[in-house]
Amino acid sequence: MSDKVLVVDDEAEIADLIALYLNNENYTVFKFYSAKAALECINRTQIDLAILDIMLPDMDGFTLCQKIRENHTYPIIMLTAKDGEMDKINGLALGADDYVTKPFRPLELIARVKSQLRRYKRYTPAQPQAEEKNVISHSDLEMDITAHKCMVAGTPITLTPTEFSILRILLENKGKVVSAEALFHQIWQDEYYTKSSNTITAHIRHLREKLNDTLTKPKYIKTVWGEAIKLKRSKKDAFSAFQAKIMWRFCGNALLSVLIVMGLYLFLWKQRLGDIIVGLLEHFLNLKHEAAFMIYHAYFRGYKEIFFVAAIILVFLALFWRLFQWMRKYFKEIHQGIDRLLTDDGAQIQLSPEMLPFERKLNAVKQTLGQRKAETALAERRKDELVMYLAHDIRTPLTSVIGYLNLLEEAPNMPVDQRAKNLHIALEKAYRLEEMINEFFEITRYNSQQIKLAKKPVDLCFLLVQLSDEFSPALSQHDNSILLDVAENLTVCGDADKLARVFSNILKNAAAYSYPETEIKITAEKLHDLINISFQNKGDAIPTEKLPALFDKFYRLDEARISDTGGAGLGLAIAKEIILLHGGNIQASSENDTVTFTVELPAAN
C-alpha cells in the first residue's frame, strides 16, 4: 500500500506541481487549497505525511499544524516563502519536522518526503507485537520505543516524531556527548550545514520545555557549549558641575570658616587658650611656669598669624568636605536618573525638590527616547514586513516557473497538450513576476522623487469612459458592471497616463473584491476648486483599523496573499504617490458592505 501524503497550498499551480511529482513516486496524494478542507480529510483519512503552506486563506499553516498535532504524530513539512528564523522556530515549536523555503527544487522536496517517511517508519513500527516492550529509562523519564510513548514521573507527554527521535538517541547514549551534526545525520540522514544546528537547537529547546527541564540546571539534557566571548560593557560616570548653584555655598563655607576661627580666637584663644598651653607644657615637659610661658610666647604667640591661617584652612576643609557630601548626594540622584532613561517601565524620574529643572529635563529626554524607540521599532517592523511580503510574492511565482520548467526538462516525451499546459503556467507566472518587479521599481522611483509629470488638461469623463470599456470584459466574468455618473465638463491639469494608472489600480481592486452580480459605481463632481472622484463597490467590509494601511507598500487584506485575488500590494501605494504628486488626496472608507475610494484633484483653471 502506498503512503498517503496531504498537500495544502493556496497556490493551485504549486499544489498541482507537488502532487504531480508525488504521484510519479507512487504516493497517494490528497490535495487541498484551504485548511478547512484539509482538516475534513484528516478526520476521515489516515495520513502518513503532511506538506503545509503557511499563508492559507482561511487559517495559517501554524494553526493547522497545531491542530494536526493534537491527534497525530506523522511528519509535517512546512512549505512557505517565509524564511525568517522566527518563522522556522515557530513552525518547529508547534510540531513541524522540516521546513522548505520557496522557491525549491521539486526533487529536493521529494527527497525530504522520503527521508521523513523513512525515519517515521523506522521509529514507528507498523504492526508492533503486543507482548514486546522496548523501554529506555533515565531517572523518572521512561520511553517506550514500541508503543512510541514517553512518560515523565508517571505523566505521559506528547512528543513530535522528531522530538521522539532526538530523545531516543540521547537516551541510547546516556552520559555521552552527542553533537548536533551527529543528531542531524541520524535523524534526517542528510548533509549537515551550519544552519542545520538552528533546527536541532529549536527541537532541543522545545523538548526541554515538555520535560520541564532548564538550561541552567538541567535534569535530563545538558548542553556542552564551545568557547564563548563575553563582552563587558564599560560604564563611565560623567557629572556636570553645578557651578552656578553651589558657588554661594562654596563662598559661604569660606566666610563661615573665617568667622569660626575668629570666634575661637576671641572667645577661647584670647581668654584661656594661652593658659591651657602653658599648663600643658608644665605638665608634660616638667617645666617651671616662667620657662613654659617663654616657650608659649616665643613659639605660639609670636606666630599667631600662621596658626590663625592654618586654623582657617582646617575649618574650611572640614566645611568643604561637608559641601562635597552634599553635592555627592545630588550627583548620585542625577546618575540614577540617567540610568532610568534606559528603562522601559514608563515611570517618571523623580529627584529632590530643589532639582526640579533637572527632573523635568530628564523626563523630557526619556519621553523623547521612548517615542523615537517606538518609531524605530515600527519602522523596523514595517521594513521587515516589506521584505517578507516582497520575498513571498517573488518566490511564489518563481517556484511555479522553476518547478514546471524542471518538469519539462525531466520528461522530454511528455504529451504535446500537457507540455503546452505546463509551458503556459510557467510563462504566466514569469509574466506575473515581471509585472511585480516592475511595480517594485516604480514605487521606488516615486519614493526617490525621480518621476516627472507631463501635465496637461485631462478630460475626466473621457478618461473614465475609456477605462470602463477596457474593464468590461474582465468584470463580465463575475457578472459585474460599471455605472458612470460623471459630468462632461470636468477637467483636471495632470499627467493623463499617470492618472489612468491610478483609476486602473482602483478598478482592479474593486473588481477583485466585489460581490458577483454587483455594480461598481463611479461618480465625479466639482466642489469649489477640487474635483471629487468616487469609486464604490459592494464587497466585504474592511475593518476601520485596516483602512489607513491599504495604501502601504505590499499591504494586502488577504494575509494568505493568493495570486488569484490580487497583486503584490503595490497598486494602491503607487496610486497614492501619483495623487500626492498632483497635489491631491486619496482615501478609503467602508460601511454596510460598501467600499469607497475617494480621489480629490485640483480642478484645472
Residue labelled with grid coordinates 577661647 = 268
Q: DSSP H helical segments within 448-603, as ranges?
A: 460-476, 496-513, 571-581
How much is the CA Rg of the chain, to the nearest whole Å?
40
What confidence tens digit (pLDDT) does each residue in 169-181 have? 888 877 777 777 7
Q: For 343, how many CA atoms within 13 A lie in the half-sphere containing its CB?
A: 12
pLDDT at 512 over 50: yes
Residue 445 has pLDDT above 60, yes or no: yes
The SS3 assignment for 49 reads strand
Long-range CB contacts (within 8 A, 24+) of 406-415: 406/105, 406/106, 406/107, 407/17, 407/20, 407/21, 407/106
Q: What is the DSSP letter of 603?
A: B
What does the pLDDT average to over 549-574?
Answer: 61
- Please tell me the CATH superfamily of domain 456-602, with its number: Histidine kinase-like ATPase, C-terminal domain (3.30.565.10)
In 431-452, which positions are buried (b, 16+ CB within 10 angstroms) versus exposed (e)? ebbeebeebbebbeebeeeeee
Kindly report the CATH number that applies to the domain delimited by 358-447: 1.10.287.130
CA angle 367/373/374 to nearest 5° reads 90
Segments making up each domain of the chain, as ranges: 4-123, 135-211, 243-340, 358-447, 456-602
Write out pLDDT tens, residues 344-371: 777 788 877 667 777 778 888 888 888 7
Average pLDDT, the chain: 77
pLDDT digits (tens, 9 = 90+) for 168-212: 888 887 777 777 777 777 776 555 554 445 667 777 888 888 888
Query: Where does the pLDDT of residue 598 fall: very low under 50, low under 70, confident under 90, or very high at 90 and above?
Result: very high
Supply the pLDDT for residue 383.
Answer: 65
User: What is the pLDDT at residue 270?
Assistant: 54
* Mean pLDDT confidence for 328-333: 79
* Closest listed residue to residue 10, CA positions, set 391, 392, 382: 392
What pLDDT score was predicted for residue 30?
Answer: 93
Per-residue confidence band for 50, with pLDDT thresholds at 50, 70 and 90:
very high
Cα distances (Å, whole numbers) of residue 232 to 93, 229, 336, 340, 342: 32, 10, 20, 20, 17
- Return the pLDDT at 554: 62
Residues 6+ apart with CB under 8 A from 132: 146
pLDDT for 7 equals 93
- pLDDT, residue 6, reads 93
- CATH T-level assignment (fold) for domain 4-123: Rossmann fold (3.40.50)
Q: In this model, does residue 128 exceed pLDDT 50? A: no
d(C-alpha 5, C-alpha 27), whole Å: 7
Q: Are 99 and 91 in contact (CB under 8 A)?
A: yes
| 255-264 confidence digits (pLDDT tens) | 776 677 666 6
- Pair 551, 573: CB distance under 8 Å: yes
Confidence (pLDDT) at 341: 78
Cα-based distances in Å from 241 to 141, 285, 325:
64, 51, 14
Q: What is the pLDDT of residues 370-400, one digit of tens each?
A: 878 887 887 677 666 666 666 666 777 788 8
Look at the domain 135-211 and name its fold.
Answer: Arc Repressor Mutant, subunit A (1.10.10)
Confidence of residue 421 (pLDDT cuts 50, 70, 90): confident
* Tens digit of each residue's pLDDT (9 = 90 or more) over 272-320: 666 777 787 777 888 887 887 787 677 766 666 676 677 667 777 777 7
Indicate whether 228 pLDDT > 60. Answer: no
β-strands 28-32, 4-8: how paired? parallel
First to last CA, the chain: 78
The single-letter DSSP state of residue 550 is G
- Comparing 91-95, 99-103, 497-501, 521-525, the range with the smallest average pLDDT is 91-95
